[in-house]
Structure 1
Amino acid sequence: MAPLRRLCLLLLALLLPPPAAPAPAPLRRPDWAACRILSRELSRLLATVKEPPSALEGMQLLEEEPQNWPPRIRCSDACDPLALETNNTRCLHRIRQALQHYRDLLGSDIFRDQPQPQLETTMEQLLRHVQEGHGRAPRHPLPPTQVWEQQLQRHLALKRLRSFAAVMSRVFNHSAR
């Protein structure tokens, strides 16, 4: 009787569907309204950063390779309003990359003479909102720069950060609606 019972249980197990695997926890979406407020605050703070008037405006350092360029939002990142409605993963990934890059720059020796604690704090808060569901981003120390190039590097970093912040604000402004 026992072998017949085992056979019946085995057939029953084969006929029943397998137990459903637990659904993966959905990644939380960023708080778009908070991101919009923080990105506007970042832009406002960037406008208040005072740089000495200089001849740096026309100067540029030659950048060796495109892979060393700072992250920037491209058309392929799908940050346009239509793409954001359906899938914002690529866009948020690019924004996360850029925020991490600029956060690391603000903590580097480039800004040692002119620290920007409010800017760093606002950027860290914004990064925390964009990071939700992805863990905390580690800091990546940047290699030291020569003293003679720090002012130029700082100027270029602020210029690029202002440009990035303007585009990022548009993304968050649209998404917060």
Structure 2
Amino acid sequence: MAPLRRLLLVLCLPAMLLLPPAVPFPAPGTDWAACRDLSQRLSRLLGTMKESHGVLDGVRLGGEEDSEGDCAPRIRCSDACDPSTLDTNSTNCLRRILQGLQHYQTVLSSDIFATHPQPELKAVLDELLGLVQVPFRSCRPPPPPPADLWARPLLQHSTLERLRSFTAVMSRVFTHGASAR
């Protein structure tokens, strides 16, 4: 067995030395620095927003994201957004971020926010959507059903809380991606 191993090393080592070193696999056309700046701006905007219904602080709706399946606007471990994976292949992570951005853009444009529109948030989301360039098969969930007037404040609060969490992770991804390039 040892002679066979040595023979393989002798035959394969020169070929391995000729291979180019591993290079990061950036998503084509994504401006990481601009995405970092916009995601940080979005995070600051969300941090300074005052809830129109302060009594909703700490209220959580259970199980609503699970109904959206794979289009859920959250970044999972399986989306490969950790720094070591981002350095070699950022495509899966950027796809998930794109899905989340599309989801929040749809929700912010829905009747849930009809009485309290969020033009600044929508503008930043639009800019980010224009910057994230990755081959993508759309996974847009259907728009949220019309919300009763009494439910809108709760749905607004829940959406903004989830967007804050999503933005925190997205910001970390873009900060790492911008510093690595």
Q: TM-score, normalised by structure 2?
A: 0.74
Give the aligned residue type for 1:41.
Answer: R
User: What is residue 18 of structure 1 aligned with on the other side?
Assistant: none
User: What is residue 32 of structure 1 aligned with on the other side?
Assistant: 32
In the alignment of these two chains, the number of paired residues is 152
Q: Per-residue CA shift, 1:115-135, capped at 9, x if unaligned?
A: 111110111000111145559
User: What is residue 43 of structure 2 aligned with on the other side?
Assistant: 43
User: What is residue 123 of structure 1 aligned with on the other side?
Assistant: 125
User: Is contact 1:100-1:139 (8 Å) kept?
Assistant: no
CA shift for structure 1 position 102:
0.5
CA shift for structure 1 position 143:
1.8
> In the alignment, which of 110, 113, 121 is matched to residue 112 of structure 2?
110
The answer on 1:100 being equivalent to 2:102 is yes
User: Is contact 1:45-1:119 (8 Å) kept?
Assistant: yes
Q: Per-residue CA shift, 1:17-66, capped at 9, x if unaligned?
A: xxxxxxxxx97230001100110111111122221343323433343672
Q: Per-residue CA shift, 1:92-118, capped at 9, x if unaligned?
A: 010000000011111011111111111
User: How many angstroms apart in 1 are the aligned matches of 2:138 and 2:126?
Assistant: 10
CA shift for structure 1 position 137:
9.4
C-alpha change, 1:85 and 1:64, in structure 2 (3 Å) is: closer
C-alpha change, 1:173 and 1:64, in structure 2 (3 Å) is: closer
Gaps of 5+ in 1: 1-25
User: Is contact 2:27-2:133 (8 Å) kept?
Assistant: no
User: How many angstroms apart in 1 are the aligned matches of 2:153 and 2:81?
Assistant: 32
User: How many angstroms apart in 2 are the aligned matches of 1:45 and 1:65?
Assistant: 23
User: How many angstroms apart in 2 are the aligned matches of 1:130 and 1:76?
Assistant: 20
User: Is contact 1:28-1:132 (8 Å) kept?
Assistant: yes
Where do 1:74-85 residues align within 5 Å?
74-85=76-87
User: How many angstroms apart in 2 are the aligned matches of 1:143 and 1:34?
Assistant: 34
C-alpha change, 1:43 and 1:85, in structure 2 (3 Å) is: same
User: Is contact 2:105-2:126 (8 Å) kept?
Assistant: yes
User: How many angstroms apart in 2 are the aligned matches of 1:92 and 1:27?
Assistant: 8
User: How many angstroms apart in 1 are the aligned matches of 2:64 and 2:121?
Assistant: 28
User: What is residue 158 of structure 1 aligned with on the other side?
Assistant: 160
C-alpha change, 1:154 and 1:135, in structure 2 (3 Å) is: same
Give the aligned residue type for 1:71.
Answer: P
Off by >6 Å, runs of 4+ in structure 1 = 135-139
Give the aligned residue type for 1:117.
Answer: P
The answer on 1:67 being equivalent to 2:74 is no
Q: TM-score, normalised by structure 1?
A: 0.76
Give the aligned residue type for 1:38.
Answer: L
Gaps of 5+ in 2: 1-25
